[in-house]
Amino acid sequence: MRSAVQCACQLLRLVREPLACQRHWSRCAWRRARGKTPARLHSSAMPTSRFDRLDALRGLAIVWMTIFHFCFDLNYFGWIRQNFHADPVWTGQRTAIVSLFLFCAGLSQAVAHVQGQRWPRFWKRWAQIAGCALLVTAGSYAMFPRSYIFFGVLHGIAVMLVVVRLTAGWGGWLWPLGAVANLLPVLFRGLHAAMPSLQVLNGPPFHWLGLVSRKPITEDYVPVFPWLGVMWWGMAAGQWLLARRRDVMTGPLAAGASPLAWLGRWSLTWYMVHQPVLIGALTLVQMLRH
């Protein structure tokens, strides 16, 4: 009788132990799930969220560019008389606009790097930019066959994005490298006078580097040097801010800045359509006037 009772107790323990283990692991799982507070869930979602302030800054560059191009088109149609190729008022604005665009591109790459953007997604966006660059070349050739755009802002961005992506892990070295990139064209302009053999850099297939002694005849020219330095600085600034002052980039928008943020999200589309729309509208106005 005693042996039978002992056997029954052993069987009961065999049954209860797995059930107790199951309850124990269920409690642990519940505690782990409970410990994942909404704040932690929010932080895990943060890496893939958009940065409205960055979009707004890019949108500001787009508005400035659109105003600049509208004035350029007015000059093209003869309604105003300005020298967009030599007047510092216009050349300075162009430099500032391109710098702002490229700095924003560097900031965006810093965000993409922190978010862990994979190469397939990078190449998808890169293909869109490169394809639009080819369309710009074709369209500018139709309007300005003698000064068409062979390496403008989109061409430069397409090349520099790859370089910046590959150097994203260089950290603080991006600051001095950006300075070198900005000074390199100045150095080569001096070297051209001492080394006539460097004149080969003034023409194809090397003039896209920017190490030239004279600017090629083109409506838009954004070579790798010095502009890579601006994008490198954007990447370095973005990485520094995300590591030390993340709130500067992730904070709320200022009142009334939402349209700029919306525009910044569609920067490539706006860039491609704004000039055909402006030129088409001015052409229509000119036809109605006559």
Task: State pLDDT tens for residues 202-227.
Answer: 999 999 999 999 999 999 999 999 99
**Domain interval for residue 94:** 83-251
Q: Count the neighbouring beta carbons within 10 Å of the beta carbon of residue 38.
A: 7
Query: Is 143 part of a structural domain of the chain?
Result: yes
* Whole-number Å distance between alpha carbons of 289 and 246: 53
Whether 132 is in a domain gets the answer yes
Of 230 and 11, which is predicted with more confidence?
230
89 belongs to a structural domain: yes
The CA dihedral of 234, 237, 241, 242, to the nearest 10 degrees, is 60
Q: Is residue 108 part of a domain?
A: yes
Please determine, for residue 243, whether its predicted confidence score (pLDDT) is greater than 90: yes
Task: Report the number of distinct structural domains present in the chain.
Answer: 1
In-domain check, residue 88: yes
Q: Is residue 189 part of a domain?
A: yes
Under the banding of pLDDT at 50, 70 and 90, the label for residue 290 is confident
- Neighbouring CB atoms inside 10 A of 222's CB total 24
Is 90 exceeded by the pLDDT of residue 35? no
pLDDT in tens, 68-107: 999 999 999 999 999 999 999 999 999 999 999 999 999 9
Whether 54 is covered by a domain: the verdict is no
Q: Assess if residue 260 is contained within a domain.
A: no
pLDDT recorded at residue 113: 95
- Alpha carbon of 223 to those of 75, 155, 192, 227, 246: distances in Å? 25, 8, 17, 7, 31
Q: pTM above the 0.85 mark?
A: no
Between helices 153-166 and 88-114, what is the axis angle to 10°?
40
